[in-house]
Amino acid sequence: MQKPVTGPSVRGSMLTDPKIRAWAFQILAVATVVAVGWYLFHNTQSNLAQRGITSGFAFLNNPAGFGILQSLIDYTEGDTYGRVFLVGLLNTLLVSVLGIIIATIIGFVVGVSRLSPNWLISRLAALYIEIFRNIPPLLQIFFWYFAVLRAMPPPRDSHALGEALFLNIRGLYLPAPAAADGFWAFLVALAIAVAGCVAVARWARQRREATGQRFPVLITCLALLVALPVLAALVAGSPFTWSVPTLTGFNFRGGWVVIPELVAITLALSIYTAAFIAEIVRSGIQAVSHGQTEAARSLGLRPGPILRLVIIPQAMRVIIPPLTSQYLNLVKNSSLAAAIGYPDLVALFAGTVLNQTGQAIETIAITMSVYLAISLSISLLMNWYNKRIALVER
């Protein structure tokens, strides 16, 4: 990075010493910031005093007294605002993680399709990208929520997929697994299979390097991962009992229910972010020059290894930094959930809690700090990663 060459350091004026000027300027700037800060603080103090609001974080221990639509941890109306914060944070993280996973899958598929030699596929991918990245995400959320999910039939007329999956105005009903007799045997078998895969992969690599012989690692691992748990289930009995949602009266009982708010926001954010990820993937792959592929081909490498050993390692260096910033955008956009009443951090804390307690400064500050903490820690991680993978140049 080049150092900025700035005026005072290259100017040769005798009247003003650039160093003193710089000091004066900085002191002035700091003083202004402090003065503005103090002014705002002072106003806030007197405003709060007048409205009879006591500042501080003591309210976090008060009971909240309201119900929450969806919570990943146990929550009742009598719990504290502190617990509400936790519920909101977890709900935000849930949407973010789901969104990131789905957006990454769609984004990579669309991005690779964009480069397909098949003209139709490539056009379809372009169409997807151009449509979805140019429509505001909030509009997409509203579309899925109000125009699609709110227009779903009542439970009795649910759209059903087989006898286990139901979609209606109250949400998406899925069968839920619960541990049964064979659960522990199943878990142990799965763990052994995973450990076995790692061991096989390491052994295969060492053998390949030592003797040049290949071993079909992928197929072996898949076989292990399927066979061992199935075997365990046969010996020790079924690992799960499935609680299938069933219609009783006017509603479904049993199973998992995914509330429509969560479906809408996850769907909309994944589809929106995927359009950007697709562009990133496309440009990342295109950044690997054609000469690289030609060189690899002329060495006799097959398409599989070319992709794995030459193209992907280089494309990922280009893809990962902007990809992370898209992930960050998705986390920040998850706050749009507030607009349709999904109980995320913003809706619960900067919304309901603020309205109930009037602790505007504290709630907004806490909410913003969470996003800031996420953003900054990911940026730091990114900078570290970028330094690590930067190509060595002269």
Partner 1 sequence: MTDNAKNHTLGDKLMIELQGVNKWYGEFHVLKDINLSVRQGERIVLCGPSGSGKSTTIRCINRLEEHQQGRIVVDDVELTSDLKHIEAIRREVGMVFQHFNLFPHLTVLQNCTLAPMWVRNMPKREAEEVAMHYLERVRIPEQAAKYPGQLSGGQQQRVAIARALCMKPKIMLFDEPTSALDPEMVKEVLDTMIQLAESGMTMLCVTHEMGFARTVADRVIFMDRGEIIEQAPPEEFFSNPKNERTKTFLGQILNH
Partner 2 sequence: MSTHVFKPDLPPPTLSVGVLGWLRANLFSNGFNTALTVLAVYLIWLMVPPVIQWAVLDANWSGTTREDCTADGACWVFIQNRLQQFMYGFYPLSQRWRVDLTVLAAVLGAVPIFVRAMPRRWIYAIGYLLVYPWLAFWLLHGGLGLQIVETSQWGGLMLTLVIAVVGIAGAMPLGILLALGRRSHMPAIRVICVTFIEFWRGVPLITVLFMSSVMLPLFLPEQISIDKLLRALIAVTLFEAAYIAEVVRGGLQAIPKGQYEAAGALGLGYWRMMGLVILPQALKLVIPGIVNTFIALFKDTSLVIIIGLFDLFNSIHQATVDPAWLGFATEGYVFAAAVYWIFCFGMSRYSMRLERRLHTGHKR
The distance of closest approach from Cβ of residue 277 to partner 1 in the complex, given in angstroms and rounded to an integer, is 22
Starting at the edge strand found earlier in the chain, the sheet holding 171-174 runs: 159-161, 165-168, 171-174, 256-258
Which of 3, 51, 214, 387: binder of partner 1 (CB under 8 A)? 214
Tokens representing 193 are 């299979």
The footprint of partner 1 on residues 290-309 (CB under 8 A) is: 291-292, 294-302, 305, 309
For residues 303 to 342, the per-residue mask of contacts with partner 1, x marking binding by CB under 8 A and - elsewhere, is: --x---xx--xx--x-------------------------
CA dist 357 and 55 (Å) reads 11
- From partner 1, partner 2, none, which one binds at residue 130 (CB under 5 to 8 Å depending on kind)? partner 2
DSSP class per residue in 32-80:
HHHHHHHHHHHHHHHHHHHHTPPPSSGGGGSB-----S--SS---TTSB
- Select the binding partner of residue 289 from partner 1, partner 2, none (C-beta < 5 to 8 A, by kind): partner 1
Nearer to partner 2, 76 or 116 (CB): 116
CB of 211 to partner 1, least distance (A): 5
**Interaction site with partner 2 (CB under 8 A):** 1-12, 22, 25-27, 29-30, 33, 40, 43-44, 46-48, 50, 116-121, 124, 130-131, 133-140, 142-143, 146-147, 150-151, 332-333, 335-336, 338-339, 346, 350-351, 354, 360-361, 364, 367-368, 371-372, 374-376, 379
Nearest to 280 by CA among 104, 135, 101: 104
In single-letter form, the type of residue at position 161 comes to L
- Residues from 270 through 289 that contact partner 1 (CB under 8 A): 289
Smallest gap from Cβ 305 to partner 1, in A, equals: 5
For the chain, helix, strand, coil in percent to 5 are: 70, 10, 25
The answer to whether the CB of 371 falls within 8 A of the CB of 331 is: yes
Beta carbon of residue 112, minimum distance to partner 2 (angstroms, whole number): 12
**Residue of 59, 97, 61 whose CA lies nearest to 344:** 97
Closest approach of Cβ 282 to partner 1, in Å? Answer: 20
From partner 2, partner 1, none, interface partner of 371 (C-beta below 5 to 8 A by class): partner 2
| Closer residue to partner 2 (CB): 251 or 293 | 293
| Rounded distance between C-alpha atoms, residue 47 and residue 41, angstroms | 10
How many Å apart are CA 274 and CA 329, to the nearest integer? 12
Q: Whole-angstrom Cα distance, residue 210 to residue 193?
A: 25
Q: Judged by CB under 8 A, does residue 391 bind partner 1?
A: yes
Q: What's the maximum distance between 2 C-alpha atoms anywhere in the chain?
A: 92
- In the bound complex, what is the minimum distance in angstroms from residue 323's beta carbon to partner 2? 17
Q: Which amino acid is at 290?
A: H
CA gap 16, 264 in Å, rounded: 63
386 near partner 1, judged by CB under 8 A: no
Of these partners, partner 1, partner 2, none, which one is at the site of residue 1 (CB under 5 to 8 Å by kind)?
partner 2
Interacting residues toward partner 1 by CB under 8 A? 208-214, 289, 291-292, 294-302, 305, 309-310, 313-314, 317, 391-394
